[in-house]
Structure 1
Amino acid sequence: MISQEEVPQSTNHSLSFSSLPHEIVVSCLARVSGSYYPKLCLVSKQFRSIILSNELYKARSQLGTKENRLYVWLKLPTSSYPSWFTLWIRPKQTLTNDGPIKKKSTGNLLVSLPSSYNYQVVVPSVIVGSETYIIGGYNVPSSSVWFYKNEKIHTLCKAPRMSVARINAVIVGQYPKIYVMGGCDSDESMNWGEVFDIKTQTWEPLPDPGPEVRGHLVRKMKMYQKNLYVSSEKKDYIYDTQERRWDVTEALLDCSWCVIEKVRYIYYNKNCWWLDTKSKEWRTIKGLDFLNKFRETDRVEIVNFGGKLVMVWDRFTLSKRNKKIWCAMIALEKSHGGEEIWGKIEWIDDVLMVPLSYTFLDCMVISI
Structure 2
Amino acid sequence: MSSLFSLPDDVVLNCLVRVPERCYGNISCVSKRLRSLVLSPELHRLRSLLYKDSIYLYCFNKERVSFQWFTLCRSEETTTDQYQLVPLALPSCKMISSSSTVVVGSKIYFIGGYFTPLSVIRILDTRSGKLTRGPSMNVACTHETAAVGVVDRNIYVIRRCFGEDENQVVEVFDPDHSQTWEFASEEIVQSLEKKVHAMDFGVDRIGGFYKLREGRLRKTMERKGDRPICVCVVESVLFAYFRTGGLMWFDTKLNAWTRLVTSDEVLTLEGEFCNVVMSKYDGKLAVFWPGYEIIGYMKEVWCRLISLESVGDIVYGTIDWSGVVATIPVASTFLHCLTVS
- TM-score, normalisation: structure 1: 0.47
- TM-score, normalisation: structure 2: 0.50
Larger % of strand: which?
2
